[in-house]
């Protein structure tokens, strides 16, 4: 029987295996989750740095990429994404995203939380909200996992935003996987005296908690407990993508993005509520056409296979897939940040798919520079994700100083066309 070193537990704890703190409000959330309706899980594909809308899902006349028809009548995307073109009937393309923030970090914060970073108050990321609201605290698997899908082109994209639970509590923070090919590190330590080691550790932790009865101490103990359960659980095999058939791994692709998409599907299938796959390097100040042409094959294979795989397993209606970045790129060559009018994509999740929400200009000096129908703000988008997951966007948490904070901004207008 394998041994468990205390430092291995602490590494998992620090990585975010945090849940299960026994406090009344948390347990009431777990009970309420049984009665909820909506998708059971979300996979967020985050293209860090700002992907160009006109080189992906909102092609323009005389643009650098030609457009092709898709499986949804009347909808076209760029020809470099032929596999995704065959999935558009299961997708909704939001072409009228708009914010006022052109700086990377503040825009990432805004799109992850639905709130602007204007004061010292930190807001929880949508993944942490999902972990708190619809995660299962008693399960072996963590409710929220982030996966690093690496960089292809070293286009900076500024400071990387990392999802934080803020006033929700650290038990709702994410577990980080650094490479889908490796999976979760320190998961299987070797040795034969695991029971004795765990008993010794439990005694030490119990005495410490009796002396320092603080929420952070309880959260740390819960993290250690969950780490042990995860190490001993058969469901931890979900972190090993080599368990998948070779033909399916080939469909997802050899790129880290495709492997990360495969890992995301396995984790959701094993009970993880929210998975965020982060790929960096989309800050294309030399122009978007060349790097997008390089990325297109693995974006196309990874995301399209994810959608089809979820559907084949009967999971797509219960799993919301979101593709986006913090803003788009300027019309034309896409050399600059552009927050005024850009694109996000949603798939599955029980949404009304096979449609385009919003429209950008097709004529004038800079086609795509203006929204001419249905603008969608960051708070609107976050509220839409919440409703798709069965989370009440008007629910209030108590932040520091007993300050009531709603899940989504009170002025948010969800995209009702998607929700039915």
Residue range 121-129: average pLDDT? 96
Q: Give domain limits for the chain.
A: 36-183+240-419
**What count of residues does the chain have?**
420
**Structure tokens of 402?**
């007993």
Residue 14's pLDDT is what? Answer: 40
To the nearest whole number, what is the mean pLDDT of the chain? 87
CA distance readout (Å), 383 to 10, 122, 398, 410 = 35, 18, 19, 10
Q: How confident is the model at residue 222 (pLDDT cuts 50, 70, 90)?
A: low
Q: How confident is the model at residue 395 (pLDDT cuts 50, 70, 90)?
A: very high
pTM (2 decimals)?
Answer: 0.87
Interval 155-188: pLDDT, tens: 889 999 999 999 998 889 999 999 999 998 766 6
Residue range 272-288: average pLDDT? 97
Cα dihedral sign for 178, 183, 184, 186? negative
Q: How confident is the model at residue 400 (pLDDT cuts 50, 70, 90)?
A: confident
Whether 32 shows a pLDDT value over 60: the answer reads no
Residue 37's pLDDT is what? Answer: 67
CA distance readout (Å), 276 to 47, 108, 142, 341 = 10, 13, 13, 24
Whether 195 shows a pLDDT value over 70: the answer reads no
Q: How confident is the model at residue 137 (pLDDT cuts 50, 70, 90)?
A: confident
3-state secondary structure at position 43 = strand
In 3D, which of 24, 254, 35 has the Cα closest to residue 134? 35
Beta-bridge mates of residue 323: 45, 345
Q: How confident is the model at residue 129 (pLDDT cuts 50, 70, 90)?
A: very high
Domain 36-183+240-419 in CATH 3.20.20.70? The answer is: no
Rounded to the nearest 10 degrees, the angle between the axes of helix 256-269 and helix 289-312 is 20
């Amino acid at each position: 029987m394998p041994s468990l070193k205390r430092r291995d537990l602490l590494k998992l704890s620090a990585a975010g295996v945090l849940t299960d703190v026994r406090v009344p409000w948390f347990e009431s959330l777990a009970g309420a989750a049984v009665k909820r309706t909506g998708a059971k899980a979300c996979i967020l594909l985050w293209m860090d740095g700002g992907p160009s809308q006109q080189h992906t899902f909102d092609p323009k006349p005389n643009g650098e990429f030609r457009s092709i028809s898709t499986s949804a009548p009347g909808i076209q995307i760029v020809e470099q994404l032929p596999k995704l073109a065959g999935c558009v009937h299961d997708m909704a393309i939001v072409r009228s995203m708009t914010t006022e923030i052109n700086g990377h970090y503040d825009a990432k914060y805004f799109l992850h939380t639905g709130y602007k970073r204007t004061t010292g108050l930190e807001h929880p990321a949508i993944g942490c909200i999902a972990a708190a609201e619809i995660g299962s605290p008693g399960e072996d698997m963590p409710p929220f996992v982030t996966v690093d899908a690496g960089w292809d082109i070293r286009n900076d994209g500024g400071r990387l935003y990392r999802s934080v639970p803020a006033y929700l509590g650290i038990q709702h923070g994410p577990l980080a996987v650094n490479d889908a090919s490796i999976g979760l590190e320190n998961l299987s330590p070797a040795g034969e005296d695991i029971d004795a080691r765990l008993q010794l550790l439990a005694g030490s932790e119990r005495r410490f908690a009796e002396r320092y009865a603080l929420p952070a101490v309880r959260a740390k103990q819960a993290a250690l407990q969950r780490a042990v359960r995860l190490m001993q659980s058969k469901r931890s095999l979900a972190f090993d993508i080599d368990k998948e058939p070779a033909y399916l791994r080939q469909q997802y692709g050899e790129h880290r993005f495709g492997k990360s998409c495969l890992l995301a599907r396995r984790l959701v299938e094993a009970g993880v509520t929210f998975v965020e796959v982060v790929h960096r390097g989309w800050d294309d100040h030399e122009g978007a056409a060349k790097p997008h042409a390089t990325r297109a094959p693995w974006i196309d294979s990874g995301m399209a296979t994810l959608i089809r795989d979820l559907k084949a397993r009967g999971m797509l209606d219960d799993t919301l897939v979101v593709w986006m970045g913090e803003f788009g790129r300027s019309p034309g060559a896409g050399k600059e940040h552009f927050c005024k009018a850009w694109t996000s994509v949603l798939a599955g999740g029980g949404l009304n798919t096979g449609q385009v929400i919003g429209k950008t200009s097709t004529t004038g000096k800079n086609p795509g520079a203006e929204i001419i129908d249905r603008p969608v703000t960051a708070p609107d988008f976050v509220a839409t994700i919440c409703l798709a997951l069965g989370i009440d966007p008007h629910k209030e948490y108590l932040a520091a100083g007993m300050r009531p904070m709603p899940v989504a901004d009170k002025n948010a207008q969800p995209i009702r066309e998607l929700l039915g």
